[in-house]
Structure 1
Amino acid sequence: MQAGYYNAAAGMVAQFNRLDTIANNLANVNTAGYKEDGLVTGDFMRLYKEARDELPNENNSKEGAKFLNRTLSRAPQIVDSYTNQNVGIMQKTDNTFDFALSQEGLFFAVKTPNGIRLTRDGSFTTSNDGKLVTKQGFEVLGSDGKPIEIGQNDNIIHVDKNGKLSVNTPGTLNFVERQTFYIAAPDNLSKLQKEGSNLYKFDEGDALKPQAQTGSVQQGFIEKSNVNAVNMMVKMIETNRLVGMYQKVMDTQMNDLNQDAINKLASTKA
């Protein structure tokens, strides 16, 4: 079978993966705190140059791997993925329990059944037992590692830019400081793994510590997704066209060229 067929098939698979990522971004365009995902497309030539000395061929030599280079020299494939951590637009809601982080690389810490996780989605609410929780019911943590509690009589709640929560004394306008939000700043954002429910799992070797003076907490705001819907639609159209082009190449390889070979072989005289 022609090598071009393999290259076109690899290219189509890469574009299908790209379509899945684009579709997921578009599905979360209105999800608070969502960060856009992207893929990096490479080819076998680059991967071969990086790992040719480790190829399991005779003598581990460049000459011993030439057949791989000849056959798959330009087969595109997904070589990496990434998450764009740029800050989204701040949308004012005036909701007491809506919070946004205006600085890139900062996250709220929440307690889940699988352990502590991070999130940029600050659309919180209160549970029946007076805990501040996410929409999924995960407890929002304070800098002391304990869930943030909201009393039934706390009808005026104020959170400053550093995440310090204060409530009024019942029947007065005097405020008493309570807990402070656990604002985390992972050392390596590229090691964060999306886990669903707008949560991130951080690297176990990353020793998280609550940040004291971030000046980034905004009460009464939510951070919108940083996905640009127009750009995503353009990328989707572009990807669909590439899929069509690869399909045409595959049809040409399998049908036109093979049919031409059959006709020539059939007309050959002994």
Structure 2
Amino acid sequence: MENTLLIALSRQTTLRREMTSVANNIANMNTQAYKRESMMFDDYLVRSDGGERIMGDKLMFVRDVAQYRDLSEGKFDETGNPLDVAIHGEGYFVVDTPEGNRYTRNGHFQLNSNGVLVNTDGHPVLTEDGDQIQTTPGDTRFEISRNGEIHTDAGPVGKLGIVQFDNPQELEKVSSTLMKSDAAGVQVENPDVHQGKLEMSNVEPIIEMTRMIEVHRAYNRAKSMIDKEDERIRKANTLITGQ
């Protein structure tokens, strides 16, 4: 196949995946603690027929190699709910799931029917010692200090497990805000916890809409290139075969 067609097709393929990433960001712009995602690309240069000249053109193949997350902190929304918790700075809450420990920055917690603190999926939130956070029916007070220590009417319950990783980009996403890792996280020594607040998504809707328009236009340019190249090849074949 002609290099021009290969280049245009490689560009269209990566743009389709970029559009999927942008659409996912927009869909989760109101999801607590969601982190904006983008694609990473590799460009491969091939010298064109005119490449021997000083300003010779270069043909460029494009390949998407990975997806990365923008780990910047989202804005805090003050809810006043004592079971809502936000982490300022590095760190992830630890939750216990049937598949093992999972990690999240979404601190929208609640108490289940047994008085255990759980996340929105019903998975128990763990302390730094790996225990569940248990309350009693008579508890009317649920306080979390800035360092993550939990107190109820019965006294201290434990300290929230908040862990960090050497390379958070290596965390594998299993849902919009839930991550898993083969390596165990390291407990944050001095976490900065804010009770009654939630970290919101760090997606900027205007930026994502702008990206969507740019990707759409780039895709149409690549399509136009394919159409023109197809027309050129058909004309060349007609001249050669005389048909």
Give aligned pairs, total: 232
Distance of 2:156 and 2:2 partners within structure 1? 72
Q: Does structure 2 conserve the Cα–Cα contact (< 8 Å) formed by 1:194 and 1:200?
A: yes
Instruction: Give the C-alpha shift of residue 179 in structure 1.
Output: 0.9
What is residue 55 of structure 2 aligned with on the other side?
Answer: none
What is residue 258 of structure 1 aligned with on the other side?
Answer: 233
- DSSP-derived class of the 1:74 partner: strand
Give structure 1 stretches of 5+ with no counterpart.
Answer: 47-71, 170-175
Deviation track 1:211-260 (CA, whole Å, cap 9, x = no partner) reads 2422x110000000011111000000000001100001011111x20232
Distance of 2:70 and 2:19 partners within structure 1? 17
- DSSP-derived class of the 1:75 partner: strand
Structure with the higher strand share, 1 or 2: 2
Match among 163, 185, 200 for residue 208 of structure 1: 185
What is residue 167 of structure 1 aligned with on the other side?
Answer: 152
Distance of 1:24 and 1:110 partners within structure 2? 24
TM-score of the aligned structures, taking structure 1 as reference length:
0.82
Aligned-residue CA RMSD in angstroms? 1.8
What is residue 37 of structure 2 aligned with on the other side?
Answer: 37
What is the 5 A alignment of 1:1-270? 1-45=1-45, 74-103=60-89, 105-168=90-153, 176-202=155-181, 204=182, 206-214=183-191, 216-254=192-230, 256-267=231-242
Distance of 1:220 and 1:33 partners within structure 2? 15
TM-score of the aligned structures, taking structure 2 as reference length:
0.90
Q: Does structure 2 conserve the Cα–Cα contact (< 8 Å) formed by 1:35 and 1:83?
A: yes
Distance of 2:175 and 2:239 partners within structure 1? 57
Distance of 1:32 and 1:134 partners within structure 2? 12
Q: Does structure 1 conserve the Cα–Cα contact (< 8 Å) formed by 2:29 and 2:205?
A: yes
Instruction: Give the C-alpha shift of residue 140 in structure 1.
Output: 0.3
Q: Who wins on radius of gyration, i.e. which is larger?
A: 1
Give structure 2 stretches of 5+ with no counterpart.
Answer: 47-57
Q: Does structure 2 conserve the Cα–Cα contact (< 8 Å) formed by 1:33 and 1:223?
A: yes
Instruction: Give the C-alpha shift of residue 80 in structure 1.
Output: 2.4
Identity among equivalent pairs (%):
28
Q: Residues 25 and 197 from structure 1, CA distance in 2 versus in 1: closer, same or farther, beyond 3 angstroms?
A: closer
Instruction: Give the C-alpha shift of residue 266 in structure 1.
Output: 4.9
Distance of 1:192 and 1:5 partners within structure 2? 36
